[in-house]
Structure 1
Amino acid sequence: MSKANKSVLEAANRAISEGNIEGFLSFCSDDLEWTTVGKQTLNGKDAVRRWMKAAYVEPPRFSVTDLVAEADLVTAIGEIAVKDEQGRLVRSSYCDVWRFRDGKRAQLRAFVVDAGGDAS
């Protein structure tokens, strides 16, 4: 199961890096709970879709340095760069902990830390 969950995460990452929000969301449960620790929790695909459309004016650039799967959890550690309101690329380090249910991503706990500086 963990190998299949890792494959799902990798496919979803490919979709979002191509700007395919719907493709990304197709790997999520309808009742997805998306928590950015210390900031906000989004409930359901529609809330995540709205957030992504606002936050990802352009597809994010990211790399996964570590990917660990155990039972129904997959943890991805890496770096991401997204454009801010002024159009600058801002780098962050992240650790995403995904919980899977029935082959879909059902819960995210995202730990995101500003890596400082402009990523351009």
Structure 2
Amino acid sequence: MNATKALGHYGEEIAARLLTETGMTVLARNWRYGRAGEIDIVARDGDTVVLCEVKTRRAGPFEHPMAAITPAKAARLLRLAEGWIERYGGPPPGGIRIDLVGVLLPRRGAPVVEHVRGVA
């Protein structure tokens, strides 16, 4: 595993733990839907299915993880939500929500984690 993939995997582990600690149930990790792409984490929040994009960055000159949701990325996430609905026979009772978890790794200390609900 290269350094970039390892960083992303570490951030996804942190995000999955955060979602679980806040009462969500993780249903799938790295869920793929054909050529549309991949959802980092699929979770259930009550009767809502949450498609969660995780962005991990090291502290430094790079963009903040929360700046990663561009209009193109949001459109891809919406296509993936449609794919989830298609594959699993319709929307869940609470619908589908798209969230973002940003993980910022400082040079020292604990990761800074931010969870934003309903980004797209």
Kindly indicate which of the two structures has a greater share of residues assigned to strand: 1
Could you say which TM-score interval applies, normalised by the shorter chain? 0.3 to 0.5
TM-score by length of 1: 0.34
Kindly indicate which of the two structures has a greater share of residues assigned to helix: 2
